[in-house]
Amino acid sequence: MATIFHVTDLHLRQALPGHAGHLHRLSRRMPALLDALSGRIAAVAPDLVAVTGDLLDVPHALLDGEPGHDLRAITQAALADYLLVRRWLDSLGRPWMVLPGNHDHGPAFDVVFGSEPVTRPCGHLTIHAFHDWEQAGNQALRIGPSRRHFEQAIAASGVETDEVHLQHFLVRPHVDYHYPLLYGDADDIARRVADAPGRRLLLSGHWHEGTPMVQVGNALMGACPAFCEPPHRFRVFRIDPGGPIAMEEDALGASFTAAKQLTIVDRPGLLTLPPADGAAPRLVPRSDMARIIAGLAAQGHVAIASPWHAPETGTATWRGLQYAHDAFFQALGSDAGQADALSLYLPPGAQPGRRLPAEPISREPDLVPRLAALFGMAPAAVTLLTLDPARRAAGIAAGAACPDLSDGMPDIDAILAAAGR
């Protein structure tokens, strides 16, 4: 029997600045959660650890080649984070295979992982890893070397073939969503593996909710839920030669270890300066912002809340909003941006910029309840620091401590004292 430990969509950022734009993609928590996962992997003692893409959450500015950003620094940080993932994989003491997803940066990924084989034996199995990329319209296609690799694998198959295909995007089942999740040529891939002699197991990531495994002809396929999101799920497959394939899904559970309190800092005024009139979407950090975050982090967990419809980001699209926040965290330097989470949110009734993220974006009244739940805390253990009277009222209604900071822009001592309660 061969055992495969499948984990996907880490969306890690450690050297990379800031946070994924989605609240539940806990990029900065990933190193600690991967450490915790090591123990679970050791207990399973798999024959292979497979990570199917989105290893990092590379800022969109680099993925898009957006001018006006320090892309060289982001690339260096991505390299450092790929090395972190590689050191973690090597530390497991088990064979492993990885492949890139749409949030990975191909050149940096290749520097760290490019020399790894894309086919390897695993007990009685053969494992193939397919490096595929999104093309026009965010639609992934299996083309070029990846397609040739796939064609060779299919052509070489016989009744004895028992293999596993690892890829980022979905082949089946269909998932109805406004962003393409399946390969543009998924019908062709599905038909080929369904009809080919032997047996195939296709393991995908990308769709963070995951899917059930579905049988299509001679192949079993589906997507594992994203490890970066609570409750941090993974799957273990046990494959008997000529026998059944058993799947078990498990999860690490809590994202954060208990701290006495959670401080939510509402960005405007407390972390950034008022916007200049007519400026492009841009966040200007206060000069003492890094010290404010460090001071709050000494008291417990810290989450940054940032309103989308503030004057400085009000016209930004969802992607522009992420550019602005990534640049803001990057400007802080490598020692800052160490808040535990970032919650982008809208006031009640406000319309979001052009495209919504996959998860519902927080609204003002949800700020305290959603973050308290994420950190496994009662709202009474939450302190919300905000200069906005309506947000303060919403925080009080949710049960959080909300000190009155309404007298202008408080200095660092006043902010830390207010959080210390």
Stretch that binds Fe ion, among 5-13, 43-51, 59-67, 367-375 (CB under 5 A): 5-13
Of positions 4, 9, 12, 129, contacts Fe ion by CB under 5 A: 9
Which residue spans within 217-267 are E strands per DSSP?
A: 219-223, 233-239, 245-251, 262-266
> Could you give the angle at which helices 367-374 and 389-397 cross, rounded to 10 degrees?
50
Span 216-275, contacts to Fe ion by CB under 5 A: none
Q: Among 48, 92, 93, 57, which residue's Cα sits nearest to residue 77?
A: 57
CB of 68 to Fe ion, least distance (A): 25
Is there a contact between 267 and 292 (Cβ–Cβ < 8 Å)?
Answer: no
Check binding of 54 to Fe ion (CB under 5 A): yes
Pick between residue 102 and residue 338 the one whose CB is nearest to Fe ion. 102
What's the one-letter identity of residue 348?
A: P
Q: Give the strands of the sheet with 301-307, arranged side by side.
A: 362-363, 341-346, 301-307, 262-266, 382-385
What's the one-letter identity of residue 133? W
Question: Structure tokens of 46?
Answer: 């798999």
CB of 411 vs Fe ion, minimal distance in Å: 40
**Selected range binding Fe ion among 41-49, 94-102, 253-261, 286-294, rule: CB under 5 A:** 94-102
CB of 180 to Fe ion, least distance (A): 11
The residue sitting closest to Fe ion, measured at its beta carbon, is: 54
Which 3-state string (H, E, C) describes 270-312?
HCECCCCCCCCCCCCECCCHHHHHHHHHCCCEEEEEEECCCCC
- Minimum separation from the CB atom of position 399 to Fe ion (A): 33
Going by the DSSP 8-state scheme, the letter that residue 160 receives in this structure is T
Cα 362–368–374 angle (5° rounding)? 80
Of 7-15, 37-45, 177-185, 402-410: span binding Fe ion (CB under 5 A): 7-15
Q: Which is nearer to Fe ion, 47 or 54 (CB)?
A: 54
Near Fe ion by CB under 5 A: residue from 101, 184, 275, 353:
101
Closer Cβ to Fe ion, 13 or 286, answer by number: 13
Q: Write out the binding residues for Fe ion, residues 175-214 only, by CB under 5 A.
A: 206
Query: Minimal distance in Å, beta carbon 181 to Fe ion?
Result: 8
Summarize as ranges the residues that interact with Fe ion (CB under 5 A): 9, 54, 101-102, 206
